[in-house]
Every structure is written in C-alpha cells, then in structure tokens.
Structure 1
Amino acid sequence: MEKMKSLRHLFVTVFLSHFAGILVMPAITDVTMSALCPGQDECSLAIFLSGFQQAIIGVGTLVMMPLIGNLSDIYGRKALLTLPMTLSIIPLVILAYRRTTDFFYAYYVLKTLTAMVCEGSIQCLALAFVADNISSGPPRTSAFGILLGVGYVAFVCGTLTSRFLSTDHTFQIAAVVSMIAAVYMRIFLQDTPRNSDDLEQPILNTEENSSQIEGESSTEVQVFKKIPSLKDIICLLKSSVTFSQAAFVAFFHSLAEGGLQASAMYFFKARFHFNKDQFAELMLIGGIAGTISQLLFMPMLSPFLGEEKLLSIGLFVGALSMLLNSIAWSVWVPYVLGVLSIFAVFTTPCLQGIVSKQVGPNEQGMAHGCISSMSSFANIISPLIFSPLTALFLSEGAPFPFPGFSIMCIGLVMMIAFVVSIMIKAVPPILSNKISDGDCTEA
C-alpha cells in the first residue's frame, strides 16, 4: 500500500514536470524564428543553433546520466530528482519575462547548460523509482508503460493548453507549474528502501557493494568513487547479449528521434507554413495516441506478445511513419501519420522493461543511466548530421529537389534499430548464477 502511494506521488510529479516542459514546445520554434529571422519561414541560423544546442546537451547527458543514476542507487531517487527539477525552472523564467533577441540568447545559453543535467534525468530516475517498487517481469513493464502514459497525458494536456494560450501566458504558466512540481516532489515523494535480500546478484561487484555486504557504512565511501567508470559501463554492456542489443537499439532509436527533433518542425514550417497552433495540433494527435497506447494497449498486449515483439512493432511503425512524412504531399498527411504513434510509442517502455530485467535491484539507476548515456551519445551525433542536411535540402542550393530527404534518412536509421530488435530473444532476469563475480570486479 505504501509503495502504491509512493508511485502515485511519483506520477503526479512526472505529470507536472512534463506538463511544464511540453507547454512551451509548440511555441519555441516561432519564438526562435522571431528572435533570429523575423518574418521568415526558413532560417538556417535557427536550424544550426538548435542542432548545436542539441549536440552540446547530448555531451552533458552522456556524462551526467550514468553519474546521476548511480548516485541515486546510493543516496536515493528523491535527493537526485531535486537537482534537475530545480534547474529546469530557470530557462522558463527568462522567456516568461521577455522574448526579445537578447533574452532569447540568454535563454539559449542557460537552457543548454541546465539541460546538460536535466535532459532525460527526471525520466531516468522515475524509471529507477518504479523498478524499486514493482517486481520484475510483465508487471514492471506495464508500470513503465503507465509511467510513459502519464507523460503522454501531460503531453496532451500541455499541447491542448498551449493551443489556446498566448505566447506570453504560455511561458509564464510553464514557469509556475515547474516550480509547483519541484515543491510537490520535495513534500510528498518518499524514497522506498530497496530490498537487499533480493535474489538478483549485482552485476558490478564494486567496493561499495562489498562494504554493504560486510556491514560497512556506505557514507564512508567518497562521492567521487561513485562515479561510474568506462569499465563499469563496458561491464554492463558485456553482462548479457540482450543488454548490449538493447543498448544498440537505444542508440539508433535515439539517433533517429534526435534527428526528428532537430529537423521535423523546421521541415513542416518550410513545407506547409506551420505555426504554433499547427504544431500544437500535431503534437496533440500524437499525445492522445500515445496516451491510449500506454494506458490501454500496453498493459493488455505486453503479457501476451512480450516486450521483444512489441519493441519491433514500435520501431517498424516509427520508421514507416518517418518515410511517409518525408514525401508528404499535402498538409493532412502529418496529421494522419500522427495517429501511428499509437504503435510507435511501444518502443520506449519495452526497451526499458528489457533492460530492467538484465540487472540486479541495486543497479537499476546505473543500468537506465547507461542506456540514457547511449541515447545521449546518439543525440550528440544526430544534430551534427541532420541539422546541416535539413538546412541544405530546405535551401535553394539543394543538390536535388527533395525537401524531406533528411526525414527519409531518419526513417532509414530507425529501420536499422528495427532490424536489430528482431534479434533480441526473450530471456529470464539475470540471477546470481548467471554472471561470474570476477567478470566485473574492480581491480
């Protein structure tokens, strides 16, 4: 009962945090274009700056995700959640005050710096919190789906609200909700102690784990010794073929998603002259489809089909959607393809469920942080590839007339992730006899 109460508080925290972030998404493209290229529908500077920001954020999260995840395994999820939820307030306050060119650049710099810590960390820690409270197997995968479904509910509410708000009020309300989320989390969320008697054996036989077994206090270990080394991450990747395949899928999926994030809105603005309202409508369709999928279809299908098959379905549908968007011949095409999100969103919770079963209870934060770092590495590379490609094919100097060429390439990258996902076989959770303690013992 206490665990379910903790999960409810977590879901409220995730909802409020996501709502604040999603609320500004439909408006940020127009704000960027107005600050950098007023009165234009195509702006290479805006595309390059967005891509550069995404790459820098990827570098930061590549380092921070394993660190934050590992520290949360030791000091608790709540303590580590406080940092990103507090930092995320700052950029919203800047644009809530004013959106001139100078203020936009101030927002741009601070958003880049804070997102190096905040981007993905709230979701990563929330996943680890769910893993602390739900047993391994289909129940945990369904819980991951519900968590993602809460995010999609916030997505729908945020985009719907943004559709009817002015730009001024959009950023002001987002800043206030972000503050409420941080305060709510600090007051109501309670860390749930993890069961040290669990049958699953920790993969990383670190000095920290050994000291806990011998009854030593973990507080005696210096903070800097908690930082996961490259050897720790390699150890996780080598711990099972399934884990390494999941990491490979996460990389290419994030490479495609990062490319879509860097390119899609600018492509639709140049191709169909979309503005804030059209972006909100498009996001709303995807959000509703994702909500239905995660709260209804995912809990029903996961026990019967398994995470592996649902993962492949999600990746295939996602790739197909991108390929069709690249040749969109009318303004209604992106709206219709948005409905396919009902299948495409299977990818993330299924991948998280597969990863979660491959590690012991004391490495959930580390494992999800490792996967997040793979995604972050993809987010470094993605805008460096797709932002220049998008700018080139949207410009008058394109090698050939195909404005959606970058979107087509993104679809092909997603197809690579789909092919690898087919190779993932259903395996039971790793138990104490599956991994030799000596494989990953620190020297």
Structure 2
Amino acid sequence: MGMEKEIKTLSHLFVTVFLWGFATMMVVPAITDVTMMALCPGLDECSLAIYLSGFQQAIIGLGTLVMMPVIGNLSDQYGRKAMLTLPLTLSIIPLAILAYRRSISFFYAYYALRTLTAMVCEGSINCLALAYVADNISERQRASAFGILLGVLSASFVCGTLAARFLSTTSAFQAATIVSMLAAAYMRVFLKDDVPNDDDDDLTRPIITEETEGVNQNESNSPVKIPVCKKIPSIRDLICLLRSSVTLSQAAVVAFFSGLSEGGMQASFLYFLKAQFHFNKNQFADLMLIAGLAGTISQLLFMPLLAPILGEAKLLSLGLFAACINMFICSISWSAWVPYATTAFSVLVVFATPSFRSIVSKQVGPNEQGKAQGCISGISSFANIVSPLIFSPLTALFLSKGAPFNFPGFSIMCIGLASMVAFIQSLMMSHTPASSKSQNQCCLA
C-alpha cells in the first residue's frame, strides 16, 4: 500500500483530532484572563493564580500518570475508538460551565471539574491517536504519518487561536462546547476501528503478551508458557516494558525531561508575559497563532520530506535543541517583540514529538502500541506533576518585588536547562534494530 493510500485510511481520525484541537485551543488564550479576573480582578500579577494553576497541573499530572498506561492498555484490548469516546465526552463538561457563566463560583466549579476530567482527557486523545496511526501505517512511513497527525493538530490550534482572536470570551466558550460535542459525535459515527490482532511473525510479536508460548532454543525444545498479562498494567509491567529495550529506557528519560520543560512553560510562560509585558487575551492569541502556523507548515510539508532523509533520531535532537535555544532567548526577553520573534523556532521544535513517538512505536509489536504510547505519556504526566511544584513558586518569586535578584525570566531559563538535559540524552540514544523485538519479551508474574 502506498503512502497516499495509507494516509487516506486516517482521514476520519484527522477530522476528529482537528475538531477536538480546534475546540480546545479556542479557549486557551482566554483562560489566563478569566483566571485573573476571577481571583485578582484589575491586576497584572497574581501569585494566587500562578499557584492555583500549578497545583491544578500537578494534580492532573498525578491522575494522568495512572490513567495513561491504563487507557493505552485497554485500547489494545477493546480498540482505539471505544477508548477515545471517554476523553472526547468528558472534555465537553468544563467548557459548558464557563460557556454558561464565568462568575467566581462558576470558575471554581470549572476548576474542580477541569481538574477531574483532565486526569482522563489530558494527553489520552493524543496517545490513542498515535496508537491508531501505528496500527494502520507501516514502520517505514510511520514518522511521516506521525508528523502529519501532529501537523493536523497544529492546524487545529491555529484555527482555534484565530477564532479566539475575533470571538468574545463568552462566544469562544460557547463555540468550543458545540465543536467538542461535534468531535465526539463525528468520531462515533465515522471512525473505523479494529482491535489489534496477534501477528505470528517474530518481528512484530508483542513484548507483553496475553497468551503466548515460547521456546528456549538454547537448552531444549519444550515450550515455556508466559503468564497471562493483566488488562490493567501494574508498575512492574511498565518497568518490564521499559527495561525490555535500551532505547525505551532512554526514551523514558527524554520523555521525563522534555515533559518537565513543556509543563514548566505551560505553568509559567503566559504569566511571565502578563507580568513583564502586560499581554492580554488577544496578544496571547497572536503569539500562539504565529507559533501554531509555523509548526503546522513544518509538520505538514517539511517533516514528511526530511524524515526519510535524516531519520527520526536527528530530527528529535534538532527539535530539542531548538526548544532549548527558544527558552533561553525568551528568558532574557528585553522587549515585547522578542517572544514573537522566537516563535520562528517552532519550525524546528515540532520535529521532536513525532520523531520521538515514532522511535518508541518501532520498539514494540502491534498489540503493544497503546501500552507503549500510554507508558511514555504517563512518564510525561509524572513530569507535569514535578514541573509546577518547581517552576510555579520560582516564577511567582522572580515576578514579585521580593525576588533575590532582578531576573524575571529566571524560571524560564531553568526550564530551558531541563530541555537541554533531554537534548543531551537524545544524542546518546541507541536505536535497536526492529528485528530485536522478537527477543524483547517479558515474563510477568
């Protein structure tokens, strides 16, 4: 099957992901202002808002740390479509609350329900979409397909941000609620799903199987049964999965430090811009629009061309290095135009995620895609627990009048150092040949 035919099989997934991303991004530029208006009306700097956002991010990270491997593993059993229904449906509820009213009581209701629902929704849609792509695309074309998927997601972010730029806050939440409902309905009606089947080929045999017989060829020809794997993976199962491949173990380190930096930017960057340059909803939207447009063009046009030439490993390192430089420059922003200029790095930064996910997907068989992607997402979620605990107090401290020294962007620079660790680890990653997957079986007691 050619690349075009393989990609065509993903068209309904792309529409689902686009609608969900469009709805999600439509409200992101407004959330900071909504939070500030509810907690600290009339102020540009609010430590309470920073701490509450960081606390929410940590709790969500704790929940997703547990839920991502579970959802990924269950999708291997029951199919991607069945599991996608849950996060797509739950994500509607918080949007509907702020679409109705944004008083302080409704804000706290949103805050509580957003925290609870995001434990299931945060990252799970991306995780399941990546597993769905891996189910339907050959290994040779997988990096390009992942790039196209994330390019579609970036395009939805651009369109959602553009809509937020011209809609009022009330209209943005109402439209986001309707589009979220449309995404869930479209997925249920049109997306086709097949529960992955066992493959007899040794090259694609899963690491952790449900019911498998192995043969010890070095000692005897007698079969050795591997115990049945539980549908809800334990910590031991996940550790076994990571230890089965040197590449997966190294990928876990990259996932942690990359997640640490991404979580830090999510928790701190918009509040830094608000305090330093008095950015508002429209300026946040402009900034996200430029970055999203650059990322979309890069993932849809450049990624499919460069992946077969350079390979996932080089693209991963290139993307992480660009992320480091971006954060270091943002940390010393001396004018309001600097954050806009650094969005040019988005062209390279977006190479990291699809390349990384492609490397991970090639280390496991077809029945392990959900589990592997969920495990990596869980590690990133753990980083999101740690990140706000470190960077939210640091950001609040250096944006306050009681800072130890005058460096408002100090927390952003520290976030860049975390990204630098991920970059260095990516340079040292080994890349196990696909043929070794036949030996990567774990015996789980």
For Structure 1 versus Structure 2, the TM-score category normalised by the shorter chain is over 0.9
Residues 154-303 of structure 1: pairs in structure 2 closer than 5 A: 154-197=156-199, 199=201, 200-206=203-209, 208-210=210-212, 225-303=230-308
Superposed displacement of residue 195, structure 1: 4.8
Superposed displacement of residue 236, structure 1: 1.3
Superposed displacement of residue 6, structure 1: 4.0
CA distance in 1, matches of 2:78, 2:274: 45
CA distance in 1, matches of 2:82, 2:395: 40
TM-score relative to the length of structure 2: 0.93
Superposed displacement of residue 433, structure 1: 3.9
In the alignment, is residue 401 of structure 1 matched against residue 443 of structure 2?
no
Q: Could you tell me which residue of structure 2 aligns to residue 34 of structure 1?
A: 37
Superposed displacement of residue 240, structure 1: 1.2
Letter in 2 for 1:392: L
CA distance in 2, matches of 1:433, 1:6: 28
SS at match of 1:225: coil
Q: Could you tell me which residue of structure 2 aligns to residue 50 of structure 1?
A: 53
SS at match of 1:339: helix
Superposed displacement of residue 201, structure 1: 4.4
SS at match of 1:197: coil
CA distance in 1, matches of 2:304, 2:8: 20
In the alignment, is residue 129 of structure 1 matched against residue 111 of structure 2?
no
CA distance in 1, matches of 2:347, 2:328: 17
CA distance in 1, matches of 2:61, 2:168: 31
CA distance in 1, matches of 2:263, 2:250: 20
Q: Could you tell me which residue of structure 1 aligns to residue 389 of structure 2?
A: 384
CA distance in 2, matches of 1:430, 1:421: 22
8 Å Cα contact 1:136/1:429 also seen in 2: no
SS at match of 2:145: helix
Q: 1:415 to 1:398 in 2, by over 3 A?
A: same
Task: Provide structure 1 residue ranges, at least 5 long, that are not aligned to the other structure.
Answer: 212-220
Give CA deviations for 1:265-324 in whole Å, capped at 9, x if unaligned: 000000000000000000001101110110011111111111001100100110010000
Aligned residues: percent identity? 68
CA distance in 1, matches of 2:437, 2:297: 38
Q: 1:142 to 1:429 in 2, by over 3 A?
A: same
Letter in 1 for 2:152: V
Superposed displacement of residue 425, structure 1: 3.2
SS at match of 1:227: coil
SS at match of 1:124: helix
Task: Provide structure 2 residue ranges, at least 5 long, that are not aligned to the other structure.
Answer: 214-226
Q: Could you tell me which residue of structure 2 aligns to residue 218 of structure 1?
A: none
Letter in 2 for 1:45: L
TM-score relative to the length of structure 1: 0.94
8 Å Cα contact 1:198/1:361 also seen in 2: no
Which of 341, 356, 362 is equivalent to 1:351? 356
CA distance in 2, matches of 1:33, 1:344: 30
SS at match of 1:340: helix
Give CA deviations for 1:381-408 in whole Å, capped at 9, x if unaligned: 0000000000000001101111000000
Q: Could you tell me which residue of structure 2 aligns to residue 214 of structure 1?
A: none
Count of paired positions: 428
SS at match of 1:379: helix
8 Å Cα contact 1:6/1:190 also seen in 2: no
CA distance in 1, matches of 2:207, 2:364: 9
Which of 68, 73, 92 is equivalent to 2:71? 68
Give CA deviations for 1:222-261 in whole Å, capped at 9, x if unaligned: 9x93111111111111111111111110110000000000
Which of 111, 114, 129 is equivalent to 1:111? 114
Letter in 2 for 1:16: L
Q: Could you tell me which residue of structure 1 aligns to residue 224 of structure 2?
A: none
CA distance in 1, matches of 2:121, 2:75: 14
Q: CA RMSD in A?
A: 1.7
Q: Could you tell me which residue of structure 1 aligns to residue 100 of structure 2?
A: 97
CA distance in 1, matches of 2:92, 2:25: 13
SS at match of 1:108: helix
Give CA deviations for 1:50-83 in whole Å, capped at 9, x if unaligned: 0000000000000000000000001000000000
Give CA deviations for 1:118-172 in whole Å, capped at 9, x if unaligned: 00000000000000000113x0110000000000000110001110011110000
Q: Could you tell me which residue of structure 1 aligns to residue 219 of structure 2?
A: none
Give CA deviations for 1:387-436 in whole Å, capped at 9, x if unaligned: 0000000001101111000000000110010000001134322545433x
SS at match of 1:42: coil
Superposed displacement of residue 202, structure 1: 3.7
Q: 1:198 to 1:42 in 2, by over 3 A?
A: farther
SS at match of 2:439: coil
